[in-house]
């Protein structure tokens, strides 16, 4: 679990800003749900045979309730959608969220126990349009964030009918190799053989070689949907690669799945930036009406690792350097006037030497320093230093705001000083 210090927060805010403005163009509206939910909600939606539920949840008992810090955002969004009867008010709902998620995983670069997701969920659309638009939207988002080397893997795992057929084919493939599978995969084979394809254990990866492709087992309606998704991605020029072994680690998915990966930036092995898919059965299984749905979430920390580095400096435009008690009083008034006009100001409250105050203004990167000493107080003026133009002038307090605004808007020949 990490602290995010102010030096880094600028990049978080940039990502959040670009995410919000893009998804709002698609009609998504923000929803905020609790960080803690009933443990049963996650067990029923994500699935018992998944790593998340099996090993990674932070669960605790309180007043005989079992509660869990949310490991992802979809389950809570669906619970809220059902609980508030949203489907009765509107046929299609587009929600987005940003927030902390918790998984007790082994931490490494790009994998944390508290991490943050930004995600979107569309409720009420069964057709391939929401699949195509959402996947393409995530691609645009990565491009807008300056991330290079983005790859989108797509697959379809069909509906329950397809999976029943595929389950038989997978069991026929794995059963003769049972002894060579990891113990974990051996247990999972009967509960959900698809999970074996998702295993990172080298023994399971080896045994998965040559496993039948689910795409060859799709029922007609699933195949039609899948072909329309692929055709839509092609029509929009969204790059994708078909990965028939992509199953993803959560049980609620049906039909289309996708995962966005990147090789750029400082990402290591945790290169999945975002993932999602269709989950047409989840709303009904949590007590709501039959409602098709599609969604995704991106991992904010991982996307930040993949985003290009750029200097972030938010310096107050003006730094006020008062010398003496009376000068401090004048400084407060000057700062209030400037801020009232929307100009950023920091007042030096340390009471040190002029030299140390100038050094601080310079290291912050402020453009102007207002020096106020006894003689300035006596005449109600300030000495206004422009650190970029290397210029100084005396300005009456009454004219200060207009003068700073005029200077700030005037281009100057810089000699490389802070802007």
Rule CB under 6 A: which residues touch ligand HAM? 72-74, 103, 105, 111-112, 115, 117, 119, 121, 249-250, 272-277, 279, 295-299, 301-302
d(CA 409, CA 412): 9
Q: How far is the CB of 350 from ligand HAM (least distance, A)?
A: 40
Q: Which residue, 134, 126, 56, 43, is CA-closest to 95?
A: 134
Residue closer to ligand HAM by CB (options 78, 335) is 78
Residue closer to ligand HAM by CB (options 117, 199) is 117
Q: How far is the CB of 302 from ligand HAM (least distance, A)?
A: 4
Residue closer to ligand HAM by CB (options 110, 316) is 110
Q: Which residue, 137, 134, 120, 131, is CA-closest to 77?
A: 120
Q: How far is the CB of 87 from ligand HAM (least distance, A)?
A: 17
Sheet holding 36-38, edge to edge: 36-38, 65-69, 58-62
The DSSP bridge partners found for residue 370 are 320, 384
Q: Could you give the C-alpha distances from 279 to 121, 212, 289, 360, 367, in angstroms and in order?
A: 10, 23, 13, 55, 53
Q: How far is the CB of 120 from ligand HAM (least distance, A)?
A: 7
d(CA 205, CA 207): 5
d(CA 232, CA 4): 39
Q: How far is the CB of 68 from ligand HAM (least distance, A)?
A: 14
d(CA 405, CA 403): 5
Residue closer to ligand HAM by CB (options 20, 360) is 20
Residue closer to ligand HAM by CB (options 130, 238) is 130
Which residue is listed with tokens 């690669």? Answer: 241
Residue 304 zone, left/alpha/beta (φ > 0; ψ -120 to 50; rest): alpha
The pair of structure tokens assigned to 358 is 């100038």
Q: How far is the CB of 102 from ligand HAM (least distance, A)?
A: 9
Number of residue whose CB is nearest ligand HAM = 299
Residue closer to ligand HAM by CB (options 99, 249) is 249
Q: How far is the CB of 249 from ligand HAM (least distance, A)?
A: 6
What sign results for the dihedral spanned by CA atoms 115, 120, 123, 125?
A: negative
Q: How far is the CB of 76 from ligand HAM (least distance, A)?
A: 10
The pair of structure tokens assigned to 31 is 């929803």
Residue closer to ligand HAM by CB (options 292, 299) is 299
Q: How many CA atoms lie within 13 A of 361 on its CB side?
A: 31
Residue 159 zone, left/alpha/beta (φ > 0; ψ -120 to 50; rest): beta
Residue closer to ligand HAM by CB (options 119, 193) is 119
Q: Which residue, 329, 407, 326, 333, is CA-closest to 368?
A: 407
Q: How far is the CB of 186 from ligand HAM (least distance, A)?
A: 24
Residue closer to ligand HAM by CB (options 253, 368) is 253
Residue closer to ligand HAM by CB (options 78, 361) is 78
Q: How far is the CB of 385 from ligand HAM (least distance, A)?
A: 46
**Within a 10 A sphere around the Cβ of 386, how many other Cβ atoms?**
18
Q: Which residue, 348, 361, 396, is CA-closest to 376?
A: 396
């Amino acid at each position: 679990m990490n602290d995010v210090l102010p030096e880094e927060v600028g990049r978080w805010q940039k990502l959040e800003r670009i995410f919000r403005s893009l998804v709002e163009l698609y009609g998504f509206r923000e929803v905020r749900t609790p960080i803690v939910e009933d443990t049963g909600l996650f067990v029923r939606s994500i699935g018992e045979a998944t790593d998340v539920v099996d090993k990674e949840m932070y669960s605790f008992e309180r007043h005989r309730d079992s509660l869990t810090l949310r490991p992802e955002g979809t389950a809570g969004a669906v619970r809220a959608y059902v609980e508030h009867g949203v489907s009765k008010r509107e046929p299609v709902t587009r929600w987005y969220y940003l927030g902390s998620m918790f998984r007790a995983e082994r931490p490494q670069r790009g994998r944390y126990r508290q991490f943050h997701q930004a995600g979107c969920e569309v409720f009420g659309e069964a057709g391939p349009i929401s699949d195509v638009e959402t996947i393409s939207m995530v691609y645009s988002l990565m491009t807008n964030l300056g991330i290079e080397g983005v790859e989108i893997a797509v697959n379809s795992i069909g509906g329950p009918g397809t999976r029943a057929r595929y389950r038989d084919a997978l069991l026929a493939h794995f059963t003769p190799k049972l002894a060579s599978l990891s113990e974990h995969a051996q247990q999972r084979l009967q509960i959900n053989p698809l999970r074996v394809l998702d295993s990172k254990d080298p023994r399971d990866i080896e045994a998965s070689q040559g496993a039948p492709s689910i795409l060859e087992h799709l029922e007609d309606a699933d195949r039609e949907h899948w072909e329309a998704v692929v055709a839509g991605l092609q029509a929009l020029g969204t790059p994708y690669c078909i990965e028939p072994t992509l199953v993803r680690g959560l049980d609620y998915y049906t039909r289309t799945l996708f995962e966005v990966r990147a090789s750029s930036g400082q990402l290591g092995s945790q290169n999945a930036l975002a993932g999602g898919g269709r989950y047409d059965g989840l709303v009904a299984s949590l007590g709501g009406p039959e409602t098709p749905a599609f969604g995704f979430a991106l991992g904010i920390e991982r996307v930040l690792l993949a985003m290009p580095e750029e200097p972030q400096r938010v310096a107050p435009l003006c730094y006020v350097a008062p010398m003496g008690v009376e000068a401090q009083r004048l400084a407060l008034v000057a700062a209030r006037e400037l801020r009232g006009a929307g100009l950023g100001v920091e007042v030096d409250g340390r009471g040190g030497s002029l030299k140390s105050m100038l050094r601080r203004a310079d290291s912050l990167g402020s453009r102007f320093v207002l020096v106020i000493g006894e003689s300035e107080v006596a005449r109600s003026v300030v000495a206004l230093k422009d650190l970029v133009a290397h210029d100084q002038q005396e300005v009456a307090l009454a004219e200060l705001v207009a003068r700073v605004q005029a200077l700030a808007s005037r281009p100057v020949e810089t000699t490389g000083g802070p802007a």
